[in-house]
Amino acid sequence: MNFSMGSMRNSLALCGFALVLLVLPARGEVYLSPEKFLSESFGGATPPPEFVWLTGALAGQAEAVLGHKPAGLRIRYWALGARSAWILDEIGKTEAITAGVVVEDQKIARMQVLEYRESRGAEVRHAFFTNQFIGLGLQEDTRLSGALDGISGATLSVRAMENMARLALLLARHAQAAQSSAP
């Protein structure tokens, strides 16, 4: 009986939460537009976009980083010298988080949440969390070169942010290698 009552209490709370979700409009919070992010990242002179194709070995590596197949076959980026900017989407729990990542010399120079659509876990947008990514690179096993302090109650959003950072570093490494080998 106690177990059922406990379950019911939790479930009634869930029902209440679901009702609130039904009433609230399901729209994301935009913290920074992609255009502004790019402009800020390149000192006001955004370079023209380029893209990398997720094919062959790179597709497999991207899938291993994300834990699922990437949504698209190509990813757009903006590059100037050793600096590249990536705007990526990744699902937190059920909704996509849009983040901007700037990679310079194979290290993260900037990490920012551009749009957050989940109902919980938006704390990942704050600088105290995103600043932890700055200076991190990608190890050979595609893990970040340093540890991150997570946020209680935002585990899935933290994981999504970490995966986007790893993916940006992986793609930046690939893009630079392709650029170096180009005639």
Partner 1 sequence: MMRWHRIIGLITGILIVVLALSGIALTHSTQLGLDRRTITAPWLLSWMGAQSDAEIYFYALGPHSVAILDDRVFFDGVMIAQTLEGGVGAVKIANAIAVAGKSEILLLTENGALIERVTALPVPVTGIGVTQDGRVAVALTPDLVFTSDDALLEWRQVNDQPVIWAAPGLIPAAIREQILQGHRGAGLSTERIMLELHSGRIFGNYGPWLMDGAALAMLALAATGVTGWIRGRKRGDGSDAR
User: Using alpha carbons only, how large is the chain's radius of gyration in Å?
Assistant: 19
- Relative to beta strand 83-91, strand 74-80 is antiparallel
Please report whether residue 64 would count as binding partner 1 according to CB under 8 A.
no
Q: Minimum CB separation from partner 1 for residue 1, in Å? A: 6
Which residue type sits at 91?
I
Q: Which of 114, 115, 113 is nearest to 151 (CA)?
A: 113
Region 97-156 residues binding partner 1, contact defined as CB under 8 A = none
Please report whether residue 180 would count as binding partner 1 according to CB under 8 A.
no
Tokens found for residue 118: 């989940």
Identify the burial level of 72 via C-beta atoms within 10 angstroms of its C-beta, where 0-12 means exposed, 13-18 middle and 19 or more buried.
exposed
Q: Minimum CB separation from partner 1 for residue 100, in Å? A: 13
Site string for partner 1, 14-53 (x = CB under 8 A): xx--x---------------x-------------xxxx--
Tell me the CA end-to-end span of the chain in Å, nearest whole number. 74
Q: Minimum CB separation from partner 1 for residue 131, in Å? A: 27
Please report whether residue 76 would count as binding partner 1 according to CB under 8 A.
yes
Residues of this chain that interact with partner 1 (CB under 8 A) are: 1, 3-5, 7-8, 10-12, 14-15, 18, 34, 48-51, 71-76, 89, 93-94
